[in-house]
Structure 1
Amino acid sequence: MARKRNYRRDRLGRFAGAGTKVSASAKGARRAAKTATKTGARKVATSAKNSYVQGSFSRNLVVSQGGEYKGVKVGAEFTTPKGRGVLVKGIVGYHGKPDRRLDITPSLDVEQKKLSVKARPNPNRRTSAGTKIRR
Structure 2
Amino acid sequence: MANTARGVQSVAKAVTKTGATKAVKGVGNSYVPGSFSKNLVVGEGGEFKGVKVGAEFKTPKGRGVLVKGIVGYHGQPNRRLDITPELNKAQKKLSVHATPNPHRRASAGTKLKR
Q: TM-score range by the shorter chain?
A: 0.7 to 0.9
Q: Secondary structure at the match of 1:82?
A: coil
**TM-score, length of structure 2 as denominator length:** 0.82
1:112 alignment partner, one of 91, 99, 102: 91
Residue 122 of structure 1: how far off its partner (Å): 1.6
How far, CA to CA, are the matches of 1:130 and 1:27 in structure 2? 71
Which amino acid letter does the alignment assign opposite residue 84 of structure 1? R
Q: Secondary structure at the match of 2:71?
A: strand
In structure 1, stretches of 5+ residues that fail to align are: 1-20
Instruction: Deviation per CA, 1:7-40: give whole Å up to 9, x if none.
Output: xxxxxxxxxxxxxx53x54444444433333322
Higher relative contact order (CA 8 A, sep 6+): 2
C-alpha spacing 1:78/1:128, structure 2 compared with 1 (3 Å): same
Alignment of 1:83 with 2:59, yes or no, is: no
Q: More helix by proportion, 1 or 2?
A: 2
Instruction: Identify the residue that residue 52 of structure 1 maps to in structure 2.
Output: 31
Contact 2:43 2:84 in 1 (8 A): no
The percentage of counterpart residues that share the same residue type is 68
Alignment of 1:1-135 (within 5 A): 21-22=1-2, 24-134=3-113
**TM-score, length of structure 1 as denominator length:** 0.71
How far, CA to CA, are the matches of 1:39 and 1:117 in structure 2? 45
Q: Secondary structure at the match of 1:128?
A: helix
In angstroms, what is the RMSD of aligned CA positions?
A: 2.1
Q: More strand by proportion, 1 or 2?
A: 2
Residue 45 of structure 1: how far off its partner (Å): 1.2
Tell me which stretches of 4 or more aligned residues in structure 1 moved more than 6 Å. Answer: none
Residue 130 of structure 1: how far off its partner (Å): 4.2
Residue 128 of structure 1: how far off its partner (Å): 2.8
